[in-house]
Amino acid sequence: MELRSVLRFFALSASIFATGALSAFGYTSSGGNYVIDAGSVNPLIFSVSQSSCDINSIKYRGTQLQYNGKGTHINSGLGSATVSISQISGSSRYIKVTCVTSTLTHYMVVREGESIVYMATYITAQPSIGELRFIARLLPNQLPSEHPYGDVSNTNGASSTVEGSDVFVVNGQTRSKFYSSTRFIDEDSHCVYGGSDLMHVCVMTPQQESSSGGPFFRDIDSNNAGDSTNLYNYMNSGHVQTEAYRMGLHGPYAMQFSRSGIPNVKSLDVSWFGEVSVTGYVPASGRGTVKGTASDVQSGMQGVVHWYNSVAQYWAKTSSNGAFTSPLMKPGTYTMVLYQTEFKIATSTVSVSAGQTATANIAGTFSTSRNTLFQIGEYDGQPTGFRNADKFLRMHPSDSRMSSWGPLTYTVGSSQLSDFPMAIFQTVNNPVTIRFNLASALGAATLRIATTLSFAGSRPQANVNGWAGPAPAAPTKIDSRGVTRGAYRGFGEVYIVSIPAGKLVAGSNTITITSISGSSGTTFLNPNLIFDAVELYTA
């Protein structure tokens, strides 16, 4: 052997030995745990309790990452489960851990040579704690930082709390695990990272077909809580829940370990998952798709098509010409919804068959054939442009960085959109006042108040130049905090106020919109509603 080759051999051997990569792919049983070695070039070795299914040790490249106060697990830990392990050969070699309770089966799968724990969770009933989630509890001295939103959910060093026990004040700023959330439709990888060699631990969710809430739902992704850095995959929760929980298989999803930055979820291959025998898994061959064209989406807004039934949910963005193709879907009949950004403009149904592509076009039905006197905001299903709409996703309404909530007065023709509040809170900034001029008195007119979310029964009542509009019925209750935890997506109620002839006069006019409710609360937990758009028009 040439000297150069010998030197290269010994250098490579030394490098492999230093990383610990000489350990072989496989598993052993030790101290009541299954110890699993992924056999990766960047070694991942983790231990799973044989009695509880908790991951209680995670070593990546020889560094312990698992917090020792609590395990990494489903929900808040299963407590006890029937835990088994097997090695499987297919297109690759796999190690599969299966944890079974009376209503839940959780799978952890390692594919030889990858520093990734693939997971899937099958349920027949919602867990008694009310949430279905995976949580990795990791060491904050190794993984102190979060991606993609940084410190907004880092509650380490909190001096006080604003609300309950989950919104904290750190260095004068409000922070909460809720502020780490991302819309399902935008989800990529969410990660925690740190250390001298910038290790990243990332959760990737290629799809959320068995979760609930649709494409715009958002839930907790991560937080540095001081004693542990927590990384989540929330699958079902009561956080602004707008539809029933879905049973069945949640996943596959994955927890990836790397030193090479943020992985793209689109790079995650789970096409092999059918080789490891997972209850409820439907391979590509057992699925179908929907394609078509969406029309009548307002210019400048993103068209989104959403399919859902009691079993699954899917979505797709439309192209510039309105074309769309769904992800691979389970067979069944689905409600099909078209949104402009997040504002619902059409609904239909479509049936999906395995191995088939259904064609289903959809056209918006939101009428624009009217004489608009003024419009504040856009019908996009979001509080876009209103005061504090640029801040509330990542901080509490009481935060000192927020602009004054008012009460505010908006003058048509001279005010900025940010002079109109994104939300009215019953005892904070109630009501909001709109002033405008008319060249002449009008006959009958219509005031449309589009909202995105209501809390504690809040709904808008309009007063036009002293004429009190009718008090709307209470909206469907969502038993969850909203804007104070960065949420705005509810049922999207639209209120129509028919203004009689003679109430709008030549010259100066005033409309007030007041939050009314039979409930009460404290400060920002008073009844409140979030605005989408306000429009005054005639036929």
Write the CB contacts of 370 (distance below 8 Å, at least 6 apart in sequence): 446, 537, 538, 539
- pLDDT of 117 strictly over 70: yes
> Which single residue is written with the structure tokens 């739902």?
217
> Cα separation of 463 and 439, whole Å?
20
Tell me, what's the pLDDT at 17? 39
Type of residue found at 279: T
Any residues with CB less than 8 A from the CB of 517 and at least 6 apart, and which?
426, 456, 457, 458, 459, 474, 527
Helix (H) or strand (E) holding 14: helix 3-19
Tokens 């943020």 — which residue? 262
* Separation between Cα atoms, residue 358 and residue 349, nearest integer Å: 11
pLDDT at 19 exceeding the cut of 50:
no
Do 74 and 53 touch, CB atoms closer than 8 A? yes
Q: Does residue 3 carry a pLDDT above 60?
A: no
Write the pLDDT tens digit of every residue in 451-480.
Answer: 999 999 999 999 999 999 999 999 999 989
Confidence (pLDDT) at 40: 84
| Alpha carbons 349 and 335: distance in angstroms, whole number | 5
How many whole angstroms separate alpha carbon 386 and alpha carbon 462? 19
Better pLDDT: 129 or 46:
46
Cα gap 358→422, rounded to integer Å: 40
Q: Assign 129 a pLDDT band (cuts: 50, 70, 90).
A: confident
126 CB neighbour count, 10 Å cutoff: 18
Residue 446 has pLDDT above 70, yes or no: yes
Q: What is the overall mean pLDDT for the chain?
A: 94
| Percent share of the chain, pLDDT over 70 | 96
Tens-place pLDDT, residues 238-296: 999 999 999 999 999 999 999 988 999 988 999 999 999 999 999 999 999 999 999 99
More confidently predicted of 357 and 20: 357
Domains of the chain, each with CATH number or no CATH: 24-276 (2.70.98.10), 284-363 (2.60.40.1120), 371-538 (2.60.120.260)
Distance CA 433, CA 32 (A): 66
Q: What is the pLDDT of residues 347-370, one digit of tens each?
A: 999 999 999 999 999 999 998 789
Amino acid symbol at 493:
E
SS3 label, residue 59: strand
Q: Cα(29)–Cα(50) distance, rounded to whole angstroms?
A: 9
CA distance 171 to 418: 27
- Give the span between the Cα atoms of 385 and 383, in whole angstroms: 6
From the list 95, 222, 200, the residue with the least C-alpha distance to 153 is 222
- How far is Cα 233 from Cα 221, in angstroms, rounded to an integer? 6
The beta strands (E) that lie in 309-401 are given as: 313-317, 323-325, 332-340, 343-352, 357-359, 362-363, 371-376
Q: Which token pair is 253?
A: 């999803």
CA distance 97 to 289: 32
Determine the distance from the C-alpha atom of residue 346 to the mean position of all C-alpha atoms in its chain, rounded to a whole number: 23
Q: What DSSP designation does 512 have?
A: E
Please write down the HEC assignment for all residues of 429-497. Answer: CCCEEEEEEECCCCCCEEEEEEEEEEECCCEEEEEECCEECCCCCCCCCCCCCCHHHCCCCCCCCEEEE
Output the pLDDT for position 23.
57
Q: CB 85: neighbour CB atoms within 10 A?
A: 15
- With cut-offs at 50, 70 and 90, classify the pLDDT of residue 9: very low
Secondary structure letter of residue 417 according to DSSP: G
pLDDT mean over 88-100: 96
pLDDT of 10 = 36
Locate 255 and state its tokens: 């927890």
pLDDT(14) > 70:
no
What is the pTM assigned to this prediction? 0.92
Residues whose CB is less than 8 angstroms from the CB of residue 534 and which lie 6 or more positions away in sequence, other chains included: 375, 376, 377, 420, 434, 447, 448, 449, 450, 513
Overall size of the chain counted in residues: 539
Please say whether the beta carbons of 204 and 256 come within 8 A.
yes
Buried b / exposed e across 176-215, counting CB within 10 Å, b at 16+? bbbbbbebbbebbbbbbbbbeeebbbbbbbbbbbbbbbbb
Q: Is the pLDDT of residue 414 over 90?
A: yes
